[in-house]
Amino acid sequence: MTEQPAASAQADITIDADPEAVYRLITDLPTLAALAEETHAMEWRKGDAARPGAVFTGRNRNGARTWSTTCTVTEADPGRVFAFDVRSTIIPVAHWRYEIVPQGTGCRVVEKTWDRRPGWFRTPAGWATGVKDRDTANSENIKRTLQRLKEKAERT
């Protein structure tokens, strides 16, 4: 097995909530979309729950720019991991992964992404999304998403 390269963006946060409850928030697509910075809607296309092979559509927005992606769940381990691959039509875009690690009375959540866009696709993708530096944007967006997740999980 080859080692996965370092994530192109990641952050973590400690949440005073049960890992299973946090996992349920992350894998509930409407909730995850509400927590995310660019994603404004997510819906199941194949399957109706987080399971490897399930497919969902992500609808994204940055200002006036909008785009959709197709996401395929690659890992779904309740209370521990939720991961999915993202593509634009047939072009690989990214891999996203949420790791939940029990810690004290709560957990630590690590959100990571790997940019998988082919080099030739990066410039047109930047025009389409309005984001030229995807790694920096994702780093900031992940921090905001995790903070919103913490706030929601700790008041639920």
Residue 10 CA to residue 3 CA, distance in Å, equals 17
| Any domain includes 82 | yes
Residue 6, SS3?
A: coil
Show the domain range for 25. Answer: 9-155
| Any domain includes 21 | yes
pLDDT tens track, the chain, 156 positions: 456 789 999 999 999 999 999 999 999 999 999 999 999 999 999 999 999 999 999 999 999 999 999 999 999 999 999 999 999 999 999 999 999 999 999 999 999 999 999 999 999 999 999 999 999 999 999 999 999 999 999 997
Helix ranges, the chain (H): 19-27, 29-35, 119-129, 134-155
Count of domains forming the chain: 1
| Any domain includes 42 | yes
The domain spanning residue 33 has which CATH number?
A: 3.30.530.20
| Any domain includes 4 | no
Please name the residues in contact with 10: beta carbons below 8 A apart, sequence gap of 6 or more: 110, 111, 112, 113, 139, 142
DSSP letter assigned to residue 52 = T
| Any domain includes 116 | yes
pTM greater than the 0.85 cutoff: yes
Is 68 within 8 Å of 58 (Cβ atoms)? yes
| Any domain includes 14 | yes
Residue with tokens 């309005």: 130
